[in-house]
Amino acid sequence: MTTRLLAVSLLTVLSAFPAAAQLALGDINGTINYSGSALPQTVEGWVAYLDLSSGAFTPVVTSKSTECEQHPNTVEVADTKTFAANKHAFVAITANTGPFVPDHPSCLAPVGLLMSNGQLVHPQEDCGLELYFTDKTHAAITDGPLPDIGNDITWAVSGTTKTDNDCLPMNDPLNPQPLGGLLVHHGQVGPCVAPKSTSITFRSAAGLDVTGTILILVAITGMNGSPGLRLPDFSSLLIGLGAYQAVNFDGGGSTAFVWNPVDVPESEALVNMMTHAHFPAGVPNGNAFKFSVSHRNPATSHISYCVQEPDKCRLVFAGLGFTLAPTAKKK
């Protein structure tokens, strides 16, 4: 009887702690043939897979500024590398952008909803593209209605907004239509992703698989002369990596991907998902765009890449990162 009670008590204690963290990290390598280019162009970047279902990862986002109290809804100023260090995040990526406050260059005002650990940092826009978490194990990506921001959303970042687009008519009163949408929507390339969808440039995004439990963080950068991707091709890449929903984050010179070594068990399923990534049949440009993903050891890899400068990223308007629960670390 004593042994049985001890076993039950031990099971109860163990169930109170998150399961071992499950993740995978890899390099993206590929080529794409764009018209006007004599040779295939290089495409390079990184991808990280995080299994949210274990509850071992805690999102962290940019906090409200304490130095710009005279300007409501402004955020702390930091580049992505510093943001990751300040938040003790093992992975971080630049999320959305926004304007500087006039005459106050240290004050940044992000665009779209931003929530940090249940606290509202910046209010929602009328038409936002959102990645949000109701808790550590449940995330969603949507361009539609959100749960109760005051009670049901704990962390949130907004994707790039429906402005500055180049694939739909602008200000056409006879043909009103929404400007842009999600990068990937229900496993399909978004019909018109904002902004600058036809520009070939560096990109970053977050995606979720069809179960909504596997988070996919992606950055396509300017390594080895890579010019980047157009957004429809970036959408196809996210689908190939397993995204069922995906939101486009700030790209161009703001593109950043930071990874600090973390010694946790890897998921064999996630490594297989990553290394077997490919374009599904019928995806546009599947023949012109070829890519593969090489597995990296997350316990020894140290990545800090910013397009603007290798050692310093642009200031963060809205950053997204993840910390690891102490109980999830490898013993």
In whole angstroms, give the CA distance from residue 92 to residue 284: 30
pLDDT at 165: 55
pLDDT at 127: 64
pLDDT at 180: 63
In whole angstroms, give the CA distance from residue 172 to residue 95: 30
pLDDT at 145: 85
Cβ atoms 316, 62 nearer than 8 A: yes
231 CB burial (10 A radius; 0-12, 13-18, 19+): buried
pLDDT at 7: 35
Q: Quick one: DSSP state of residue 53?
A: G
Point out which residues pair with 157 in neighbouring strands: 114, 131
Query: CA-based angle 269:247:261, to the nearest 5?
Result: 50
Mean pLDDT, the chain cut into blocks of 10 residues (331 residues total): 37 39 92 80 94 94 86 87 94 88 80 91 81 95 86 91 57 53 88 74 95 96 84 91 94 91 88 90 75 94 82 83 73 43
pLDDT at 2: 42
In whole angstroms, give the CA distance from residue 134 to residue 121: 16
3-state secondary structure of 87: helix
pLDDT at 231: 87
Q: Quick one: DSSP state of residue 79?
A: B
Cβ atoms 274, 297 nearer than 8 A: no
Backbone angle region of 138, left / alpha / beta, with phi > 0 → left and psi within -120 to 50 → alpha: beta
pLDDT at 194: 65
Enumerate the domain spans of the chain.
19-168+178-326
pLDDT at 72: 84
